[in-house]
Amino acid sequence: MADTRLPWELLPSLEENCLRVVATELLNVLYDTEKQLSTPLDDNYSRGTTTFARQKNRLTEMCVSGRYSWLKLTNPNMDLTFEINGIPVRFFSDNPDSPKKRGFFRHNAVDCLFAPSSDIPSLHRFVIEKPENDEEEARVHFIGYNDFEEPVSHWVYGDRVTVLQSVDSTAPESVEIMLDEIEVGKQYRKEEKNTGSE
């Protein structure tokens, strides 16, 4: 997402530590649910619906706990909306580069705060990006969209590690490692000293 800025650069009330707290909880629920629903009777549907419900309930719990003064619940329904320092936010599991979920760009009654603008985000979404394979980790994106549904701010939580794998059974050729003459001399003197002291 080129040409986007960090959320707090456009709206200072969207502090990184607040975004990090929410993103951490979304990922914790995702991983806990996947671990628990790993029986032969589970599939992507059972895991997906349970994960969504648990994430929704966890965010609701966080909002009403009183523990986070910057977090406020504004819509407890299935299209859960909460505020981070007064900014309405929703969450989805989707492709952050091309969201497809129904209602992703739809505003609900409490999800519309700003006047139309192409530079300032009027819609904020946490987007949970699930890993494509077992070697990757899930990530959470926080994206602000303008009224043309274009991303104008973007922050990512979680590392996406790429693991290199061989595509055939050919073993790589061995490479001889040449030691520096100084290091060889040090090692030789160390061995000689140890031998002489016995």
Q: How would you write the chain as a 3-class SS string? A: CCCCECHHHHCCCCCHHHHHHHHHHHHHHHHHHHHHCCCCCCCHHHHHHHHHHHHHHHHHHHHHCCCCCCEEEEECCCCCEEEECCEEEEEEECCCCCCCCCCCCCCCCCCCCCCCCCCCCCEEEEEEECCCCCCCCCEEEEEEECCCCCEEEEEEECCCCCCCCCCCCCCCCCCCCCCCHHHHHHHHHHHHHHHHCC
Average pLDDT of every residue of the chain: 83
Return the pLDDT at 163: 41
- Which has the higher per-residue pLDDT, 120 or 117? 120
Share of the chain above pLDDT 90, in %: 60
Task: Of 37-46, 55-64, 74-83, 175-184, give the lowest mean pLDDT range.
Answer: 175-184
- Which has the higher per-residue pLDDT, 117 or 158? 158
Query: What is the length of the chain?
Result: 198
Averaging pLDDT over each range in 45-59, 122-136, 147-161, which range is the top one? 45-59
Q: How confident is the model at residue 90 (pLDDT cuts 50, 70, 90)?
A: very high
Residue 6 has pLDDT above 90, yes or no: yes
Neighbours of 104 (CB within 10 A): 15
Q: How confident is the model at residue 70 (pLDDT cuts 50, 70, 90)?
A: very high
Return the pLDDT at 3: 83
Task: Of 68-77, 96-105, 119-128, 149-158, give the lowest mean pLDDT range.
Answer: 96-105
Share of the chain above pLDDT 70, in %: 73
Q: What is the mean pLDDT of residues 163-178?
A: 52
Which tens digit of pLDDT belongs to each residue from 133-145? Answer: 777 899 999 999 9
Q: How confident is the model at residue 49 (pLDDT cuts 50, 70, 90)?
A: very high
Return the pLDDT at 166: 44
